């Protein structure tokens, strides 16, 4: 996922909301972020409002555009970001980029989350490894990816995502 923003808008956002776009970018690493498609105006591109937590635990609301480059890479252009304090955003007179209130109950959870792969060593029974290697060869995929998908399916079925 590529990220982009205007340095001028970033500087204005830091002065206005005390939130940098570098910090706002961390919201997309929150697997449980919630996103709403912003349909208030005809923007000619996908404009989203995303609620999520940074690595420091700060809850932010981020306005951003979503597009796919000609090379096929997903790209997010951050437009605005502000903190939530006690469940409410700070109201400002001239903030047309983010509304004062949103209902995220119908938001899409994890819409822009891309999990990072981390190398790990686990000890599995030989028959389990052989099963996945054989199946992966038949389906022409890496067996580690197949094991990851099985584990993700298990986690998803045992996690309340509401």
Q: Which pLDDT score, from 0 to 100, does residue 92 have?
A: 47
Query: Taking residues 79-105, what's their average pLDDT?
Result: 67
Q: Which of 7-11, 81-85, 131-135 has the lowest mean pLDDT?
A: 81-85
Minimal CA–CA distance to 33: which of 18, 17, 52? 52
State pTM to two decimals: 0.66
Q: Which domains does the chain have, with CATH numbers?
A: 2-109 (no CATH), 117-162 (1.10.1220)
The winner for highest mean pLDDT among 38-47, 78-87, 103-112, 142-151 is 142-151
pLDDT band at 162 (very low <50, low <70, confident <90, very high): very low
Q: Which of 17-21, 45-49, 130-134 has the lowest mean pLDDT?
A: 45-49
Residue 20 and residue 14 in contact, taking contact as beta carbons nearer than 8 Å = yes
**Above 80 in pLDDT, residue 115?**
no
């Amino acid at each position: 996922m590529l990220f982009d923003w205007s340095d001028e808008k970033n500087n204005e956002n830091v002065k206005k909301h005390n939130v940098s776009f570098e910090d706002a970018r961390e919201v997309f690493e929150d697997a449980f972020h919630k996103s709403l498609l912003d349909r208030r105006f005809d923007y000619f591109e996908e404009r989203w409002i995303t609620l999520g937590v940074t690595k420091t635990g700060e809850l932010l609301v981020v306005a951003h555009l979503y597009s796919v480059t000609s090379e096929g890479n997903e790209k997010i252009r951050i437009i605005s970001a502000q903190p939530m304090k006690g469940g409410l955003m700070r109201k400002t007179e001239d903030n047309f980029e983010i509304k004062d209130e949103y209902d995220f109950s119908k938001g899409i959870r994890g819409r822009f989350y891309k999990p990072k792969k981390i190398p790990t060593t686990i000890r599995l029974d030989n028959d389990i490894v052989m099963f996945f290697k054989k199946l992966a060869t038949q389906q022409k995929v890496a067996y580690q990816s197949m094991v990851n998908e099985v584990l993700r399916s298990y986690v998803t079925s045992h996690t309340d995502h509401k």
